[in-house]
Amino acid sequence: MGTLMRLFSPPPATQSCQFFHSFNPPFSFPRTCGTSSRNTPFKAQSSERGNFLDLKPEAKPEFLDFDIPQFDTSTRSSSDVIIIGTGPAGLRLAEQVSQHGIKVCCVDPSPQSLWPNTYGVWVDEFESLQLESCLEKTWPRSCFYIDEDNVKYIDRPFGRISRKKFKTLLMERCLSNDVKFHKAKVLKIEHQEFESSIFCDDGNELKASLIVDASGFASTFMEYDKPRNHGYQTGHGILAEVDFHPFDLDKVVQLDWRDSHLRNEPSMLTRNSRFPTFLFAMPFDSSLIYLMETSLVGRPVLSYEEVKKRMVARLRHLGIRVKRVLEAEKCLIPMGGPLPRMSQEVMAMGGTSGLVNPSAGYMVASAMALAPVLAEAIVQCLGSTPMIRGQPLYDRVWKGLWPIERRCVREFYSFGMETLLKLDLNETRRFFDAFFDLDPYYLNGYLSSRLSPTELAFFSLSLFGNASVSSRVELLTKSAVPFVKMIGNLALEAKQYYI
């Protein structure tokens, strides 16, 4: 749920958001795009008073400093699998598939570029994947400001991933498995009965038995059976050098719903009451901190300018004067919405495939965990004798990534997102007040997308039992329509899956 959606799991390098990056201190971060505000343009004031908008980020593009093997286009040979995109999900899948002897080629305009995104994860998730060496900073606790007088805590370590360590590890694993790379942008994909072709902007055509799109949310290669009615998380973040900040160094501030910073801004206070934003904060030391103002989820998207206005007001109220902006990030993250059409000729992975948790926003750990599952389905087809190709291959790999149980779980998370969309600030506060009092098994399981459908039912009952009387009424009222839609979608999913 919320801030939790932050460091999440934005997609690979070709995603739809724009990112402004700066230097690479021992770590790095992301997020947002938005529609323009209809209100009077917000005039930046002197950074002496805490306004960071006049300061330019000091980011410079960074690249991995080792050579990568290029796919030899002159031989006209084909690959078993072509993966479009070298974000975390694409590289993890390439590493997992190629270790079984399957020939893999990754296509990306800049495969050696470091990702602009910030990735944050619960430490236990990366430990279970044996990826904890990629964490550059961890915090033992998280705190959640429900309002001025109510703070919740989770004793579950949270970490920030080192982009350089993470990408280097995945690339080195790919190189050891003889994965090839092609530096180009994919313009078009065509399919024959047992083989597909990609056409690149450098004039080359590459062929493979299976194309996997891991290029991010902005991909145009996926087909959908339903309208893409996503919710959107919007945010603006900065990694900043400051004179002072009020946060404990051993805690990540995952959600700060306080609105006292808007008391002298009546119009902004009113808008925030209906479409609230929260602060996410990662303190690295007493003068270095990552700050992000975030809209949990909105439809339509909350104006990016509005988010920045609220962040300026909040930092001023907290007494945080920004001296330097080391990195600045803005992004728009689609949440929920329909899955791509199952069994289509192009497979999807990562954000393209709908792996983002619709009501919590996390994805990177899920993508790392599910890549071996998808790889197994691919290997069973392309590693068999004879090979299973064409439509039987597409059916198996899509159902391998999205079995009926996982699709049902995602529908429940989408139901949660649709309910959150209807809550104003006070209703949201009451919801999270109950949520963070849940038993750690259900709380952590929900945030990590690892509860079964049965466990999600018990989670719902526990959440309802924890809620105040007024919150129960609100949840029953606001969730009625989303619940009916969820039941209908579950029935449709089951029907389509077993056809």
pLDDT over 90 percentage in the chain: 72
pLDDT at 358: 86
CATH superfamily, with its number, for domain 73-118+127-133+158-226+338-404: FAD/NAD(P)-binding domain (3.50.50.60)
pLDDT at 161: 93
Q: What is the pLDDT averaged over residues 104-116?
A: 94
pLDDT tens for 293-323 read 999 999 989 999 999 999 999 999 999 999 9
Long-range CB pairs of 373-376 (<8 Å, 24+ gap) are 373/400, 373/401, 374/93, 374/96, 374/347, 374/349, 374/400, 374/401, 375/93, 375/96, 375/97, 375/100, 376/400
When pLDDT is cut at 50, 70 and 90, the band that residue 58 belongs to is confident
Q: State the CB neighbour count (10 A cutoff) for residue 316.
A: 15
When pLDDT is cut at 50, 70 and 90, the band that residue 17 belongs to is very low
pLDDT tens for 184-205 read 999 999 999 999 999 999 999 9
pLDDT tens for 484-498 read 988 988 888 777 766
pLDDT at 7: 40
Q: Which residue has the higher pLDDT, 285 or 217?
A: 285
When pLDDT is cut at 50, 70 and 90, the band that residue 38 belongs to is very low
pLDDT at 133: 96
Q: With a cut of 70, say whether residue 8 has pLDDT above it.
A: no
Strand order in the sheet with 277-283: 19-20, 322-335, 231-242, 288-298, 277-283, 251-256, 141-147, 150-154
pLDDT at 218: 82
| Backbone angles phi and psi of 91, in degrees to 5 | -70, -40
Q: What is the pLDDT averaged over residues 80-92?
A: 96
pLDDT at 48: 52
Cα atoms found within 13 Å of the Cα of residue 407, Cβ hemisphere only: 24
DSSP 32: B
Taking the C-alpha atoms of residue 53 and residue 102, their distance in angstroms, rounded to an integer, is 49
pLDDT at 61: 81
Taking the C-alpha atoms of residue 471 and residue 369, their distance in angstroms, rounded to an integer, is 35
pLDDT tens for 415-452 read 999 999 999 999 999 999 999 999 999 999 999 888 99
Kindly list the distances between the CA atom of residue 360 and the CA atoms of 9, 50, 158, 249, in Å, as whole numbers in the listed order. Answer: 10, 30, 15, 24
Q: With a cut of 90, say whether residue 359 has pLDDT above it.
A: no
State the first-to-last Cα distance of the chain, in angstroms, to the nearest integer: 34
Q: Which residue has the higher pLDDT, 8 or 229?
A: 229
Taking the C-alpha atoms of residue 458 and residue 438, their distance in angstroms, rounded to an integer, is 11
pLDDT tens for 446-471 read 998 889 999 999 999 999 999 999 99
pLDDT at 436: 95
pLDDT tens for 372-429 read 999 999 999 999 888 999 999 999 999 999 999 999 999 999 999 999 999 999 999 9
Q: With a cut of 90, say whether residue 62 has pLDDT above it.
A: no
Lowest mean pLDDT among 222-226, 346-350, 356-360: 356-360
pLDDT tens for 243-270 read 999 999 999 999 999 999 999 999 999 9
Q: With a cut of 70, say whether residue 207 has pLDDT above it.
A: yes
Residues of the chain with CATH 3.50.50.60: 73-118+127-133+158-226+338-404
Q: With a cut of 60, say whether residue 18 has pLDDT above it.
A: no
Q: Nearest CA to 157 among 194, 133, 125, 203?
A: 125
DSSP 113: B
| Backbone angles phi and psi of 427, in degrees to 5 | -65, -40
Look up residue 160 and give its two tokens.
């920030």
Averaged confidence pLDDT in the chain: 87
pLDDT at 34: 32
Taking the C-alpha atoms of residue 394 and residue 195, their distance in angstroms, rounded to an integer, is 11
Look up residue 415 and give its two tokens.
């139901």
The 10 Å CB-count burial string (b at 16+, else e) for 381-416 is bbeeeeebbbeebbeebbbbbbeeebbbbbbbbbbb
